[in-house]
Amino acid sequence: MAPKDIVNQTALILDELFELSDGEAGATPRVFSGSGLVSDGGDDDDSFDPVIIADQLRNIADQYNKDVLQPLMDQFVGQARAAAGDQLAAMFSQTVDTLSKNWVSQGGDVRQEMCALKAATALGLYARRKCPELTASVRNAMAQFLNSRLTGWITQQGGWGQVASE
């Protein structure tokens, strides 16, 4: 799978991830129509469903230890409200790095990339809940982080379907 395909799939996944979750006011059940399917001809891509992958990422974020990470996420949200777009993207990356290092030090998943994915997902969803007015900026910062830091690793793992199922 080419990195460009991962970038396109990442955009679809983030569209789903940043939609209202079930249980939130105004949420409606979502089903993937397949119109955004990105395939390189392999059988694994046939199972690419951004709705399912976004749900799996939400589960990863929910499992992330928010008791320890809450102060860092609160600090990010406070600073994000005053930041410009470029500053927000840099702050997002720095906070994800800190969160993922914290995860590794707690004896969690030892793969640095998976820790970064967990941290980025947890931070992105937390920021969306705490400051919905910044949803588009946070989504863009998360996309920039994922595309610049994790696209190669996602490709090596066999694509988003493989990564989300780990």
Tens of pLDDT along 39-49? Answer: 333 444 457 88
Residue 107: the pLDDT is 58
Residue 150: the pLDDT is 94
Tens of pLDDT along 78-131? Answer: 999 888 778 999 999 999 998 888 766 655 555 888 889 989 999 999 999 999
Confidence band for 33, pLDDT divided at 50, 70 and 90:
very low
| DSSP per position, 47-116 | G--HHHHHHHHHHHHHHS-HHHHHHHHHHHHHHHTT--HHHHHHHHHHHHHHHHHHHHHTT----HHHHH
